[in-house]
Amino acid sequence: MAVDAAQQMFVGGNWGPSVSGETLEATSPATGEVVGNVPQGDRDDARAAIAAARAAADGWARLTAFERAAKMNTVGDLIESRRDELARTLTLDQGKPLHAEAYDEVDELVEYWRMAAEDAKRLGGELPNSVSPGKRVMLVRRARGVVGVISPWNWPYTMPAELIAPALASGNAVVWTPAPSTAVCAVALAQCIADADLPPGVFNLVTGPGPVVGDEIARNPGTDGVAFIGSTATGRLVGQAAAGKATLLEMGGNGPLVVMDDANLDAAVEATLTACFLCAGQSCTAGERILVHRAVEDEYLERLRRRVAETIRLGNPFEEQTTMGPLNNEPVAAKMDEHVADALERGARALSGGQRAGGYPTDLYWPATVLAGVPSDSRVAVEETFGPIAPVVAIDSLEQAIELANASPYGLLAAIFTADLNRGLEFADRVRTGWVNINESSNYWEAQLPFGGRAGTDSGIGRVGGAHVMRAFSELQTVVLTPHSPSTSP
């Protein structure tokens, strides 16, 4: 009987159960049905994967960049051939609407592997000058060795791929542990990577609880670098456990979307829909708070309320007309409950939504919620809600918008709508975020560009995005060559 890879981990080139044999029952947020039983890995499983990666790392690093790039393209080919299966798995396991979002994520996933293949071919060193005549100096890029990857559940394909693909392409072996609530998606992606026939141990998947498997991967001396995408609280723990290693931490955000009094309101409203309701608001770049100039607040709110009613369709994520599915898990739904209740108690008004939707297969369906009159110190305005909500806070000036933006402990991304380019650039100059969009949604970004939090904030360190990950997980080796003079002996 063939091994069912959907019920296994992938370690050292082989599919298998956890050491303990324990499994975790995975249920769909969309339907409530059981969609799989994934292995409940522990520290022994993580150690075995790290040992396998350690044994494979040198041989993989010695391959040429072009050989590794060919494998990355093979992974991309396999993903393309399984597009329907991967998209449906994503909808069932994560809750994203199939036609509105799931297929798009799979298509973007292919691009991550293609991009890593091309970036690997261009990852070169330098030939700096030497102070000594005749000497030649080479700065050569070397893979760090074994990279541990800890990934979130909101984009369970593309978030890990933006770390795994460049780490592999630049010559590292990888040990990956995904968020347990989308582990079925992780196994589906791992099957594509495994079927590309990388050398055994170069890529490993260990499913299990983050505080156990993720902690072991972060702190084990067998990993040379650690990449994490997820919440600020967990990211801090990962950073502490991985102290002394190369780390890349992309963490939470509460970046504002600012609408000034001269803004194109139609454009601002359309951008708000993307900012607040893409992935049901479960995004670190979501419009977690909307700062609207008081002069245009009423008109903006009316247009937003109308467009939400016209365009956002909460429902069965497999149906073509659905634009927004359920939240992924109960803790994030409970946080929506708490944040909305807090804002309403403080005087905010719900123009749409405001409580969980009934009549669905699970209790995780939250309608698109627009809140007006939100106090700037309410929980929904200062914390990361991670749900389908547009909390509108009135402001009186650009100065106030900047003050509110910088008062937040987060510093990931901010956006502003204004017709005045000087105003937009002043905002970018003064706001403490790693990325600023001017006249664009907070959820706009490009995969090849550097993305991450500003120093001194709770949004992480380092930059994801294309070759920037390769530079984080490779290092320069300095080679000084002194040519010998030709022998003069007879």
Per-residue pLDDT tens for 298-334? 999 999 999 999 999 999 999 999 999 999 999 999 9
CATH of domain 9-251: 3.40.605.10
Pick the catalytic residue from 162, 185, 284, 383.
284
Q: Are 410 and 253 in contact (CB under 8 A)?
A: yes
Confidence of residue 474 (pLDDT cuts 50, 70, 90): very high
Q: Are 6 and 184 in contact (CB under 8 A)?
A: yes
Q: Are 206 and 38 in contact (CB under 8 A)?
A: no
Please list the alpha-helical segments (H only) found in 323-378.
330-345
Instruction: Report the chain's terminal Cα–Cα distance, integer Å.
Output: 74
Distances (CA, A) of 358 to 32, 352, 365, 366: 14, 15, 8, 9
Q: What whole-number distance in Å separates Cα of residue 306 and Cα of residue 273?
A: 11
- Is residue 5 over pLDDT 80? no
Query: What value does the mean pLDDT of the chain take?
Result: 96
- Is residue 86 over pLDDT 80? yes
Q: What whole-number distance in Å separates Cα of residue 470 and Cα of residue 478?
A: 18
Active site residue 399: no
Q: Are 382 and 375 in contact (CB under 8 A)?
A: no
Cβ neighbours, 10 Å, residue 77: 16
* pLDDT tens sequence across 87-141: 999 999 999 999 999 999 999 999 999 999 999 999 999 999 999 999 999 999 9
Pick the catalytic residue from 105, 162, 216, 250.
250
- Is residue 274 over pLDDT 90? yes
* pLDDT tens sequence across 9-57: 999 999 999 999 999 999 999 999 999 999 999 999 999 999 999 999 9
* pLDDT tens sequence across 383-431: 999 999 999 999 999 999 999 999 999 999 999 999 999 999 999 999 9
**Among 3.30.70.100, 3.40.309.10, 2.70.98.50, 3.40.640.10, what is the CATH number of 256-438?**
3.40.309.10
Q: Rounded to an integer, what is the distance from CA 120 to the centroid of its chain?
A: 21
Active site residue 185: no
Where do the structural domains in the chain lie, given as residue ranges? Answer: 9-251, 256-438
Burial 286-322 (b: 16+ CB within 10 A, else e): bbbbbbbbeebbeebbebbbebbeeebebbbbbeeeb
* pLDDT tens sequence across 256-269: 999 999 999 999 99
* pLDDT tens sequence across 341-375: 999 999 999 999 999 999 999 999 999 999 999 99
Q: Are 287 and 272 in contact (CB under 8 A)?
A: yes
- Is residue 243 over pLDDT 70? yes
